Amino acid sequence: MIKKPFFSCGRPKLKYPVIQSHEKETVEIPLPEKATVLFKRRYSDIDDIDVDTLKVGDRVKTGQRISPHNTDDEYFISPVTGTVADISEFIGYLGLKYTSISINTVEDEWDYEFKNISETVSPESAIKFLGSLPGCHDFFSFFNPATPLDTIIINGIDNDLLVTTNQFVVETRNEALKEGVAYLKKIFDAKQIILLIPPNLAAYTEKLGAEIRIVDPVYPAALPEMVITKLLNKIVPAGKRSEDIGVGFISSEAVASLSDAFGQGKIPVDKIFTVINKDDSSVNMKARIGTPVKDVLESLNIDTEHGDRLVLGGPMRGQSIYSVDMPISADTDAIMVQNRNQILLSSDVSCLNCGECVRACPAKIPVNMLIRLLENGLYEETVHKYDLLSCIECGLCSYVCVARIPVFHFIMLGKYEFGRLKSMEEANV
C-alpha cells in the first residue's frame, strides 16, 4: 500500500516568464567548425557500429539520414556537411549511453533523399526521417500502434522557469505553427489537438487549427502530468508516460519544424533556445544542432570562471554539464549560466522533518519519508511504500528544502537505480 502524507497544503507561487519585446528577435550563431551528434543507442558495446555505414573519414551531407548500427530503425540526421572526425562512446546523464559522432564542417550541401518523398505526408515518411525534430528529440514515441494517440497537446509555454523558447515560436512563427498543425492532422488520427498558451499569447493563436487552452502561469502547471489532470481529467499511472494513455506532448517548435520539413523538403537542423545569463537576463538564440556550448557563450561574450555552473535547461529541471564542448541537441531549450557566488551549495545534513517539501509537492508524495529511504539506497522500498514513480520531476522539493538537501537529485537517482534493478530482474527471468 502506498503511504500518503498526513498534511499537504500550498506551494511556492513561481510565475512562468512573459516574453519581452527584446526577446522577439534571435541571435544566430554561425556554423561551428566542428559539430557533435549524440546518438542514443540500444547497444552497450561500441563494436556494434556498422563500419560499412559510418566510419572516421566519411563525408556526410546536411540532412542525411545515417544509421550507424546494424539496424535500420535507429538513425540520426546529420546537421552539417563535412567529414567524420571521431566516433566514440559518451556516457550522459543518469548513465545513458550514446555514440558521439564529431564532424568537421564545411559549407552546407544538402542531401535530398527526404525531399524526394516529402510531398507525401504520411506516418511512414515521418517515422523514416523525422524521428527527432528540433524541440522533440523522440518523435518516435508518438508512433506506438499498441497505444495510438487520442490527444496531441502542443506546448506553447515552456516546462521550466526563465525559459521562453516555445513562447517565442508561438509569437514569431505563427504561420509555420498553423501549417505544422495541419501536418500533424495528416500524420496522426488524433481526435483532439490542443495548443497550450500562457494568457499573454492569446492574441497570437487565432485560426491555428487547434483548440486553444490557457495555462495558469504558475509553475509547474505546464508539466504534462499537471496538464492531463487539469484539462483531460485523467491521471498518468505511476511509472508510465503520457503516451501510454493516448496523450502525446510536443513543443510548438517541433510543430513549426514539421512545416519547415514538408513545406521546404528539408529536415530542420537548427535549434532555438533561451540563454539565461548570470544576471538573469535572457536572449533567444538560433544555432545548428551539434554546436558546442562554448560557441554560444563566445558569441554573447559570456565568460565563465572556475566554480561557475552551466546548466542545460532551466533552474528547476535543468541538468548541469561539466564541459563547454557539450553540444546543442534537439531538446536543448535553454542554457543557463550561474555565477559561483549565486550558487546555493547542497548539504549532507539529515532531514529536519519540517514538511516544506510535502506541502510543495504537486503529486502529494510524502517526500520527507521518501528522502530517508533514498539516502540509504532503499530504492525498491521507495517505489512500493512511498510512491517514488509518481514524482513529476518539478524540482519544488529541492527549491523549498531549508536543509539544502538535493532532494530532486536523490529522486532522479532513485528512479534510475530502480529501473536498473527491474531490468536485471527481467533479464534473469
Check whether residue 384 and residue 327 sit in a common domain. no
Any domain includes 1: no
Q: Is the dihedral of CA 160, 163, 165, 167 positive or negative?
A: positive
Give me the domain span that covers residue 376.
Answer: 356-427
379, exposed or middle or buried, with CB in 10 Å at 0-12, 13-18, 19+?
buried
Any domain includes 24: no
Any domain includes 7: no
The residues, ordered by sequence, that sit 6+ positions from 276 with a Cβ below 8 Å of its Cβ are 162, 163, 282, 314, 315, 334, 335, 336, 337
Give the domain-ending residue among 286, 309, 338.
338
CATH of the domain at 237: 3.40.50.11540
Share of the chain above pLDDT 70, in %: 92
Give the domain-ending residue among 248, 264, 280.
264
pLDDT band at residue 19 under the 50/70/90 scheme: confident
Residue 329 has pLDDT above 50, yes or no: yes
Q: In this structure, are residues 176 and 264 in contact, taking their beta carbons and an 8 Å threshold?
A: no
User: How many domains in the chain?
Assistant: 4
Any domain includes 63: yes
Check whether residue 259 and residue 149 sit in a common domain. yes
Check whether residue 222 and residue 260 sit in a common domain. yes
Question: What is the pLDDT at residue 97?
Answer: 85
Q: What is the pLDDT of residues 34-62, one digit of tens each?
A: 999 998 865 444 555 555 678 899 999 99
Check whether residue 297 and residue 364 sit in a common domain. no
Check whether residue 129 and residue 199 sit in a common domain. yes
How many residues belong to the chain?
429
Question: What is the pLDDT at residue 7?
Answer: 46
Give the domain-ending residue among 71, 106, 141.
106
CATH of the domain at 314: 3.10.20.90
Question: What is the pLDDT at residue 51?
Answer: 56
CA dihedral 327, 328, 334, 337 (to 10 degrees): 30
Between CA 31 and CA 295 the distance in angstroms is 9
SS3 383: helix
Check whether residue 259 and residue 293 sit in a common domain. no
Short-list 100, 63, 99, 66, CA closest to 79: 63
Residue 73 has pLDDT above 80, yes or no: no
- Could you tell me the three cell numbers for 364? 502529494
Check whether residue 220 and residue 180 sit in a common domain. yes
Q: In this structure, are residues 236 and 224 in contact, taking their beta carbons and an 8 Å threshold?
A: yes
Q: Which pTM value belongs to this model?
A: 0.92
Any domain includes 115: no
Residue 95 or residue 200, greater confidence: 200
Q: What is the pLDDT of residues 105-114, one digit of tens each?
A: 999 999 999 9
Any domain includes 159: yes
Check whether residue 374 and residue 329 sit in a common domain. no
Check whether residue 213 and residue 325 sit in a common domain. no
Range from 98-107, 118-127, 132-141 that averages highest in pLDDT: 98-107
Residue 272 has pLDDT above 60, yes or no: yes
Question: What is the pLDDT at residue 210?
Answer: 93
120, exposed or middle or buried, with CB in 10 Å at 0-12, 13-18, 19+?
exposed
Between CA 320 and CA 345 the distance in angstroms is 14
Helix (H) or strand (E) holding 39: strand 34-40
Any domain includes 114: no
Check whether residue 291 and residue 275 sit in a common domain. yes
Task: Please state, rounded to an integer, the average pLDDT across all residues of the chain.
Answer: 90
Residue 342 or residue 267, greater confidence: 267
Residue 3 has pLDDT above 60, yes or no: no
Q: In this structure, are residues 84 and 58 in contact, taking their beta carbons and an 8 Å threshold?
A: yes
Residue 23 has pLDDT above 80, yes or no: no
The residues, ordered by sequence, that sit 6+ positions from 224 with a Cβ below 8 Å of its Cβ are 153, 236, 242, 247, 249, 392
Check whether residue 133 and residue 251 sit in a common domain. yes
**Mean pLDDT of the 298-308 span:** 93
Q: What is the pLDDT of residues 338-349, one digit of tens each?
A: 999 988 888 888
CATH of the domain at 79: 2.40.50
- Could you tell me the three cell numbers for 320? 548541469
Q: How would you classify residue 355: left for phi > 0, otherwise alpha for psi between -120 and 50, otherwise beta?
A: left
Question: What is the pLDDT at residue 52?
Answer: 62
Short-list 353, 266, 283, 276, CA closest to 308: 276
Short-list 125, 135, 141, CA closest to 167: 135
Check whether residue 334 and residue 365 sit in a common domain. no
Any domain includes 345: no
- Cis ω before 220 (30° cut-off from 0): yes
